[in-house]
Amino acid sequence: MFAKKTASLSKPPAPQPTAPLPARPAGWALRILTPEHVVTGYMAPIEMPLTGWLNVTTQTVVSLSAARLTVLEPYGAAAVETLTEVSLPKASIVAVLPADEMSLRSAMMQMPPNAERALICAGPYWLHASVRLMGGMPLRNVFGATAGDMLPISDVEVRAARPDFNFRADTVAAGMVNKRWIELFYAG
C-alpha cells in the first residue's frame, strides 16, 4: 500500500556560462552637460591633462565613445539612448564633469592652486563650486584673464536652474564650466 520513496540522485543543473562584460573603452570617462542633454561616455586618451586639452582652440569638437545620451525634457521623463559615438561642438558644452577616478586625476593636474567659492548660473544649471584662479586674481577678472573657454572648478555641486527640468543634482570633486555659457556668478 505504501511505496518506499527512493531519493533522487540526479545532479544539479550545471551553471550556464555568462556572457563576458563589454570591455571598458580606453580614455576618460566624462559627463558632459549641454543645455538640453547630458552625454556620458569615454573620450579617447591623449597625452595632455584634460583641462589643458579642452582649452586648445584648434580642437573644436569633443567626441565620446560608448555614449549614453539623456535628453532633458521639461515636464516629462528623460529619454535615454546609447550610441557608439557622439560628437559635440565645444561651443554647445556648458560643463564637463569627470565620471571616474582616472579622469578626475587628469582634470586636477592643471588646476590652478587658488580657489574662490562662487555660485554660477550657466545655461540651465546652477553650479556651486570653487573657481580655480591663477595667483591672486579676483573672481571678477576671470573672463579676461584666463586662456580658453573652459574654466576649471572644484568641489562642484550642480543642480538644475529650473524646477521643471528633470536633471538629478550631483556633487563632483572637479570639472570645467564653459565661460561662454555663464550668465551670472557671485562669490559665496
* DSSP code per residue over 66-112: EEEEEE--TTSPPEEEEEEEEEEEGGG-SEEEE-SHHHHHHHHTT--
Whether residue 61 has pLDDT greater than 90: yes
Report residue 156's pLDDT band, with 50, 70 and 90 as the boundaries.
Answer: very high
Domain boundaries along the sequence of the chain? 28-187
Specify which residues 118 forms β-bridges with: 129, 187
The CATH class that applies to domain 28-187 reads mainly beta
Cα–Cα–Cα angle for 182, 178, 129, rounded to 5 degrees: 70
Mean pLDDT of 91-112: 88
131/34 Cα distance (integer angstroms): 20
Helix (H, G, I), strand (E, B) or coil at 165: coil
Whether residue 10 has pLDDT greater than 70: no
Q: 70-94 burial, b for 16+ CB within 10 Å, e for fewer? A: bebeeeeeeeeeeeeebebebebbb
Q: What are the residues whose beta carbons fall under 8 Å from the beta carbon of 66, sequence distance 6 or more?
A: 22, 25, 41, 42, 82, 84
* Predicted TM-score of the model (pTM): 0.81
DSSP 145: H
Whether residue 124 has pLDDT greater than 50: yes
Burial class (CB in 10 A: 0-12, 13-18, 19+), 130: middle
Is residue 110 within 8 Å of 146, Cβ to Cβ?
no
68/29 Cα distance (integer angstroms): 11
Mean pLDDT of 60-71: 91
pLDDT greater at residue 184 or residue 46 = 184
